[in-house]
Structure 1
Amino acid sequence: MSILIKRILFIFFLIFLIIQVIQPVRNIDYGQVSSSDLSKVYKVPKNVESILKTSCYDCHSNSTEYPVYAYIQPLSFFLENHIKEGKKELNFSEWGLYSKRKQSNKLEAVENQIKQGKMPFSSYLYLHHDAKLSDEKIKEVVNWIESTRAESKK
């Protein structure tokens, strides 16, 4: 290998090491469930709450359980951006801050997304197999959403 190629590789390696020092702020609530969390606004059965926490909360709440690879740059930047975008679209931790109309629309959107298999993302499922929604889990969540939406219209 020529000296020029070795120097270029060495520079790339140094840059890679240096960017490891730069870590974004983590999306961690340290076990605190906010008063505006979905589970505080609606009566959520334990099985549905467990499904949502396993399959949705990492990207759609103020509490993410980070895998080991999340501390390696540039993957960390990608993950934090993905979480930020997910929370902007839907944040279960801030559910109570949404208007009743927005809550109803978000529930309908969640129902449609999981029925169509659009959520969770397949890229997420690749490394988080436990987040995959079986037909039974989808049915449990959909049934809860439908009953909750019907109840809130009364």
Structure 2
Amino acid sequence: MKKIIVVILVAFVIIQFFPIDKTNPPPTPGMDFLRIKQSPEKIAKMIRTSCYDCHSNETKYPWYSSISPASWFVKNHINEGRKHLNFSTFAVYETNRQLHKLDECIEMIEKKEMPLESYYVGHQSAKLTDEQRAELVHYFKRVKEDTERRIMFNK
């Protein structure tokens, strides 16, 4: 039993020498969702607090992201989040993809699937009230309608 504990401790120390890359891609303000959609400050703050750590290039890594293997879990969530939706590069999405992403935002917020429950552990401020969820859903629906109207007008 003592040997197993020693092996586990040695392995834990060794994996600390393999940190994750915490470099965020450079900001691209002209492509950022909040900027191009001219989001109201109250809405922008909610989105930044509850979404941007995983769904933008503006990730603020928590202290535990410096400790392996927790850091690997965090980095995987960030990579997956950016892959599914990256608010920092929203403008590069084709219009139909933007509409689809807005639909996904609406659905995930309504179903309380986002933010993830596991995210709340270190980010209590990201927890959304039912009222905040309703505000975000209303906002994303309005942005979607505005985008659809722009498409119809440009045809």
> Residues of 1 paired with 2:132 and 2:59: CA distance?
21
Q: 1:100 to 1:148 in 2, by over 3 A?
A: same
- Segments of 5+ residues of structure 2 without an aligned counterpart are 150-155
Aligned length: 149
Residues 1:15 and 2:28 aligned together: no
C-alpha distance after superposition, 1:17-71 (max 9, x if no partner)? 11111111115357x4532110232111111111011101111111211111111
1:136 to partner: Cα distance: 1.6
> Residues of 1 paired with 2:53 and 2:79: CA distance?
11
> Residues of 1 paired with 2:89 and 2:134: CA distance?
25
Per the alignment, in what secondary structure is the counterpart of residue 21 of structure 2?
coil
The equivalent residue for 2:66 is 71
Residues 1:81 and 2:85 aligned together: no
- Segments of 5+ residues of structure 1 without an aligned counterpart are none
> Residues of 1 paired with 2:78 and 2:85: CA distance?
10
> Residues of 2 paired with 1:146 and 1:7: CA distance?
58
Per the alignment, in what secondary structure is the counterpart of residue 39 of structure 2?
coil
Per the alignment, in what secondary structure is the counterpart of residue 24 of structure 2?
coil
Contact 1:59 1:86 in 2 (8 A): yes
> Residues of 2 paired with 1:142 and 1:78: CA distance?
28
Residue of structure 2 aligned with 1:26, choices 22, 25, 28: 22
The equivalent residue for 1:100 is 95
Matches within 5 A, 1:43-54: 43-54=38-49
1:126 to partner: Cα distance: 2.7
Per the alignment, in what secondary structure is the counterpart of residue 29 of structure 2?
coil
TM-score by length of 2: 0.88
Contact 1:39 1:49 in 2 (8 A): yes
RMSD over aligned Cα atoms: 1.6
TM-score by length of 1: 0.89
The equivalent residue for 1:61 is 56
> Residues of 2 paired with 1:8 and 1:134: CA distance?
45
Contact 2:16 2:68 in 1 (8 A): yes
Aligned amino acid, residue 116 of structure 1: K
Identity %: 35
